[in-house]
């Protein structure tokens, strides 16, 4: 196990009706910038619940943070927050609203262009505190410090290292209004977050391996049940907590990580607009087809046995069967798993390779997913 330092300061406020707790956590007497997405919260009672909980507060509302939040939109939110001298940011929405709000919280006290902070980082001394009310299980943004910010004019989508939320309210009931496609994308995103931290090499930590496997097994078990009963509180509670546990740092203690699937997926979204979780359902099987028999081989055999209960056949056959079952899982939750099915052509592959080469980047636990390797992976996703 590698050396590590670990601290996760986010307080989880979990359960039915917990939006009522907001006044115990949001500071009174200061202007609060409350950020929203495109309006789903107006139809499922979340907006009313937040308004009621914070009646008497000086709420400055910003609406319209889109999926894959754009810097062009966030600049307007930052200007509004500055104009009203906001001292706290409350994000009400999914990963996009929360990610965008992490940048907003850093940029309100900053004098320059918010995009500078994506490129250079932010000042810990001035960043405003952020709280969240999560409405879709997927990204883990409610309990981590990451954010992903897009820039329309250059079709870029880059990671911003922000601050952890001070608290996040997770009420599984608010997920009952989610469309099936968003549920599928959230399940795929959560599954692949675990795989990015697990599917490397075995023998680094028994505890991390079993913790990661427990999240994978839970997602595999609940996914078909959620398709049948999307309004089942206990199922959605397990989904919501699985998504948070998949990317709050707890399963990554002292072990190597991959993240190549995500980095390729971000480029696909930036270039084509395909929803984040869906890109992963396409790229992960491709990554495993290219690397699963290679340096991921031993972990693939462990994954095959412990997650998919595959014990018969040669090593090659077991690995191939685990890849097949992984892809089948994504298809069963309702996602297409090949680029050509989504009409994504080789021009996108060319551009991803070009960008990775131009940036000089290489991802994966072996740092071998550079431009040419990204091409191989994308070709294996056709």
Helix (H, G, I), strand (E, B), or coil: what is residue 360?
coil
Please give the size of the binding site for ligand NZQ, defined by CB under 6 A.
35
Question: Restricting to residues 18-57, which ones interact with ligand NZQ according to CB under 6 A?
Answer: 37-41, 44
Contact 226/232 with Cβ under 8 angstroms? yes
Whichever of 110 and 181 has its CB closer to ligand NZQ, that residue is 181
Asked if 135 is part of the footprint of ligand NZQ (rule: CB under 6 A), the reply reads yes
CB of 184 to ligand NZQ, least distance (A): 11
Asked if 77 is part of the footprint of ligand NZQ (rule: CB under 6 A), the reply reads no
Helix (H, G, I), strand (E, B), or coil: what is residue 150?
strand
CB of 108 to Zn ion, least distance (A): 26
Helix (H, G, I), strand (E, B), or coil: what is residue 46?
helix
Among 91, 128, 148, 246, binds ligand NZQ (CB under 6 A): 148
Nearest-Å Rg of the Cα atoms of the chain is 20
What does 38 interact with, of Zn ion, ligand NZQ, none (CB < 5 to 8 A by kind)?
ligand NZQ
Q: Which residues of 33-58 are buried (b: 16+ CB within 10 A; e: fewer)?
A: bbbbbeebbeebebbebbeebbeebe
Q: What tokens does 147 get? A: 């954010």
Q: How far apart are CA 221 and CA 218, in angstroms?
A: 5
CB of 305 to ligand NZQ, least distance (A): 27
Q: What are phi and psi of 185, to 5 degrees?
A: -65, -35
Residues paired with 151 in a beta bridge? 156
As a dihedral over the C-alpha atoms of residue 267, residue 270, residue 276, residue 281, rounded to 10 degrees, the angle is -40
Whichever of 247 and 339 has its CB closer to ligand NZQ, that residue is 247
Among 35, 73, 132, 139, binds ligand NZQ (CB under 6 A): 139
Whichever of 144 and 200 has its CB closer to ligand NZQ, that residue is 144
The H-assigned helical ranges of 108-248 are 114-120, 180-198, 206-228, 233-246
Asked if 285 is part of the footprint of ligand NZQ (rule: CB under 6 A), the reply reads no
Stretch that binds ligand NZQ, among 93-101, 120-128, 215-223, 364-372 (CB under 6 A): 93-101
Residue reference for tokens 């056959």 = 317
Residue reference for tokens 């992960």 = 284
Whichever of 319 and 369 has its CB closer to ligand NZQ, that residue is 369
What does 182 interact with, of Zn ion, ligand NZQ, none (CB < 5 to 8 A by kind)?
ligand NZQ
Contact 304/319 with Cβ under 8 angstroms? yes
Find how far residue 73's CA is from the centre of its chain.
Answer: 20
Whichever of 162 and 304 has its CB closer to ligand NZQ, that residue is 162
CB of 306 to ligand NZQ, least distance (A): 24
Asked if 247 is part of the footprint of ligand NZQ (rule: CB under 6 A), the reply reads yes
Asked if 140 is part of the footprint of ligand NZQ (rule: CB under 6 A), the reply reads yes
Asked if 147 is part of the footprint of ligand NZQ (rule: CB under 6 A), the reply reads yes
Count the neighbouring beta carbons within 10 Å of the beta carbon of residue 360: 8
Question: Restricting to residues 156-195, which ones interact with ligand NZQ according to CB under 6 A?
Answer: 174-175, 177-178, 182, 186, 189
Asked if 203 is part of the footprint of ligand NZQ (rule: CB under 6 A), the reply reads no
Whichever of 276 and 318 has its CB closer to ligand NZQ, that residue is 276
CB of 36 to ligand NZQ, least distance (A): 7
Instruction: Classify residue 309 by its DSSP letter.
Output: -
Q: Is the dihedral of CA 361, 362, 364, 366 positive or negative?
A: negative
Whichever of 318 and 355 has its CB closer to ligand NZQ, that residue is 355
Number of H helices, E strands in the chain: 15, 8
| Site for Zn ion, rule CB under 5 A | 189
For 103, residues 6+ apart whose C-beta sits below 8 A from its C-beta are: 69, 71, 74, 114, 117, 118, 147, 149, 160, 162
Stretch that binds ligand NZQ, among 55-63, 113-121, 135-143, 284-292 (CB under 6 A): 135-143
What does 37 interact with, of ligand NZQ, Zn ion, none (CB < 5 to 8 A by kind)?
ligand NZQ
Which residues sit at the interface with ligand NZQ, rule CB under 6 A? 37-41, 44, 67-68, 93-97, 99, 135-136, 138-141, 144, 146-148, 174-175, 177-178, 182, 186, 189, 247, 262, 276-277
């Amino acid at each position: 196990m590698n050396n590590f330092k670990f601290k996760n300061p986010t307080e989880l406020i979990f359960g039915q009706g917990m939006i009522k707790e907001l006044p115990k956590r949001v500071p009174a007497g200061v202007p609060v910038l409350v950020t929203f997405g495109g309006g789903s919260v107006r139809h499922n009672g979340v907006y009313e619940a937040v308004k009621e909980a914070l009646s008497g507060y000086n709420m400055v509302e910003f609406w319209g943070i889109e999926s894959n939040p754009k810097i062009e939109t966030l600049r307007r939110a930052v200007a509004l927050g500055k104009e009203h001298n906001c001292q706290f940011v409350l994000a009400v929405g999914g990963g996009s609203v929360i990610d965008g709000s992490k940048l907003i919280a850093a940029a309100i006290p900053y004098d320059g262009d918010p995009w500078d902070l994506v490129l250079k980082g932010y000042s810990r001394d001035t960043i405003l505190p952020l709280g969240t009310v999560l409405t879709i299980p997927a990204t883990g943004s409610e309990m981590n410090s990451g954010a992903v910010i897009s820039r329309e004019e250059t079709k870029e989508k880059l990671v911003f290292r922000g601050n952890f939320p001070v608290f996040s309210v997770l009420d599984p009931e608010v997920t009952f209004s989610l469309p099936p496609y968003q549920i599928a994308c959230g399940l795929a995103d959560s599954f692949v977050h675990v795989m990015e931290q697990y599917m490397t090499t075995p023998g680094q930590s028994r505890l991390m391996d079993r913790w990661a496997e427990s999240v994978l097994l839970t997602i595999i078990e609940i996914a078909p049940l959620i398709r049948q009963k999307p309004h089942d509180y206990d199922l959605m509670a397990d989904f919501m907590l699985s998504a948070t546990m998949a990317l709050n740092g707890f399963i990554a203690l002292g072990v190597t990580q991959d993240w190549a699937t995500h980095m390729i997926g971000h480029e696909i979204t930036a270039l084509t607009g395909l929803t984040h979780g869906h890109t992963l359902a396409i790229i992960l099987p491709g990554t495993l087809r290219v690397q699963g028999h290679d340096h991921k081989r031993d972990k693939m055999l462990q994954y095959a046995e412990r997650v998919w209960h595959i014990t018969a056949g040669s090593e090659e056959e077991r690995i191939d069967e685990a890849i097949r079952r992984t892809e089948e899982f994504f298809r069963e939750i309702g996602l297409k798993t090949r680029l050509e099915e989504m009409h994504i052509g080789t021009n996108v592959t060319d551009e991803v390779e070009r960008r990775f080469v131009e940036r000089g980047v290489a991802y994966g636990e072996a740092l071998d997913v550079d431009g040419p390797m990204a091409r191989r992976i994308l070709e294996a996703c056709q």
